[in-house]
Structure formats: C-alpha cells, structure tokens
C-alpha cells in the first residue's frame, strides 16, 4: 500500500506520472511551434527547445497532428488550423465570464461597461454591457477597435504593476466621451482591461475603485 509523503499526500501511480510528463512535453512542443513566428522550426530545433530527443518529438507530434494542431512539412513543423478552431471559442468564454461583473459595474456607475483585449497594436472590445436605467448612454459595439495606446481602455492594458491602478481619458476616441479603465491582471497570456465610458464626466476617485474591483472579479472568473 502506498504511503503518504511528509505532507500527507499519496504518490501518483507510475502511469499517471508518465501521462502527466507526456502532456507537459506535448504542450511545451506546441508552445515551441507557436513561438516560431516566421520560419517553421525543424524537428531538431524543437527537440532542443523542449529538451527531448528527436524520436520523442516525432512521437509527441502524432496526437497533435491528428487533432490538426500542427502540420508537418518535411522536417519542418507549423501550427495547424485546429488552433484556429480552439481560438474561436476563447472570445465567447471571455464574454460569459465577464458579463456578471460588467453588469454590476454598468448599473452602479450608470455608464457603458466593457472588457477590452489587446490584439497586437490594437485594442478590441470583446464584451459590452449597457446600463438599464439611464436616459442615455454610450453605444459601444462589440468588436470595436482602436490603437492600444489611446483611450482609457487601451492605456490601462499597459499600466505597470507598480503605481496607479486605473486611468482615465477624455475625448481620445470619441469627442465628449469620458472613460475610466483598469487592467485585468493575473491571467496568463491575457492583456486586457475593464472600463466604463460615458457622455458626461466621471469622478475618477469614485469610479476608479469600482472599475478596479470589476477587473479583479473578471480575472478571478477567468482563472
């Protein structure tokens, strides 16, 4: 009978350890292929990147190829179209996770709330919630894009860890519009912000902490 370690944890069966190691190496291999932005890496280069033999890389490629996540071109390896199918499910999941916090934020502030994600040099609104009780508010379309260095939503994405937790902007994207936004932190691979936009000036000292709290809630929902 297996004995627990000093922390009281039972050791994993040998088969489970091997499966975990194989999965980890497979994911590392997929990441290595993705990190090669232009020239497709060779089998030898991938083996060096993940610290495995060429034979191991060939074995790891089989299930990735069968799912369309990678494709072979002789000794070269590129990402496959299966990655696009996986990626197409990301934005709907982001919207679903963000909706509850955005709804609370929009209703409390009385302004249009949004989740914005960085896509290269652009910022894209992927989830938008409008307040239900205001006489008028900003209509902000899902899919709207703007330079990542403009507007509160874009600037918040690039905020350093130390210092101010939220930013505001006035008329940078639309004349007469005011925005307050905070970064979504702690979600690996995601550069995003949560914010509000209104047609009247927002009190940043009041709205800022509410936006920060909503951004933290969205991050927790995505972890």
Q: What are the average pLDDT values for consecutive 10-residue runs of the chain, which has 223 residues?
A: 48 61 92 86 95 95 95 93 86 93 98 95 95 91 93 96 94 92 94 96 96 98 91
CA distances from 81 to 52, 132, 147 (A): 25, 40, 28
Q: Kindly state the tokens that stand for 98.
A: 């963000």
Q: Give the model confidence (pLDDT) of 164-175 as tens digits.
A: 999 999 999 888
CA–CA separation, 146 vs 153, rounded Å? 9
- Could you tell me the pTM of the whole model? 0.73
φ, ψ dihedrals at 175, nearest 5°: -55, 130
CATH of 90-222, picked from 3.40.50.300, 3.30.450.40, 3.40.50.1000, 1.10.3720.10, is: 3.30.450.40
**CATH 3.30.450.40 boundaries in the chain:** 90-222
CATH of 14-86, picked from 3.40.50.150, 3.90.1310.10, 3.40.50.2000, 1.10.10.10, is: 1.10.10.10
Taking each helix axis as running N to C, give the angle between helix 43-50 and helix 14-35, from 0 to 180 degrees, rounded to the nearest 10. Answer: 120
Q: Do 198 and 177 touch, CB atoms closer than 8 A?
A: yes
pLDDT value for 17: 66
pLDDT value for 1: 47
pLDDT value for 97: 94
CA distances from 197 to 92, 120, 160, 169 (A): 22, 23, 22, 9
**CATH 1.10.10.10 boundaries in the chain:** 14-86
Return left, alpha or beta for 110; rule: phi > 0 is left, psi -120 to 50 is alpha, else beta. left
CA–CA separation, 169 vs 177, rounded Å? 8
- Strands of 20-99 (E only): list them: 70-73, 76-79
CA–CA separation, 64 vs 52, rounded Å? 16
CA–CA separation, 147 vs 181, rounded Å? 15
Helices (H) and strands (E) in the chain, counts: 7, 8
CB atoms within 10 A of CB 95: 16
> What's CA 134's distance to the chain center, in Å?
31
pLDDT value for 13: 54
């Amino acid at each position: 009978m297996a004995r627990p370690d000093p922390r009281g944890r039972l050791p994993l069966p040998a088969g489970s350890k091997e499966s975990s190691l194989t999965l980890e190496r497979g994911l590392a291999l997929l990441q290595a292929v993705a990190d090669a932005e232009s020239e497709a890496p060779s089998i030898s280069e991938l083996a060096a990147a993940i610290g495995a033999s060429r034979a191991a890389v060939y074995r790891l490629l089989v299930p990735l190829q069968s799912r369309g996540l990678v494709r072979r071109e002789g000794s070269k390896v590129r990402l496959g179209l299966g990655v696009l199918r996986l990626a197409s499910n990301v934005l709907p999941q982001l919207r679903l996770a963000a909706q509850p916090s955005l709804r609370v934020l929009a209703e409390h502030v009385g302004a249009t709330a949004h989740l914005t994600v960085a896509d290269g040099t652009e910022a894209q609104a992927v989830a938008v919630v409008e307040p239900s009780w205001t006489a008028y508010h900003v209509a902000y379309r899902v899919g709207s894009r703007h330079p990542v260095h403009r507007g509160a939503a874009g600037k918040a994405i690039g905020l350093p860890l130390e210092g101010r937790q939220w930013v505001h902007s006035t008329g940078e994207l639309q004349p007469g519009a005011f925005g307050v936004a905070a970064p979504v932190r702690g979600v690996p691979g995601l550069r995003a912000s949560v914010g509000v936009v209104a047609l009247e000036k927002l009190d940043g000292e009041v709205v800022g902490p509410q936006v920060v709290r909503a951004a933290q809630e969205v991050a927790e929902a995505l972890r």
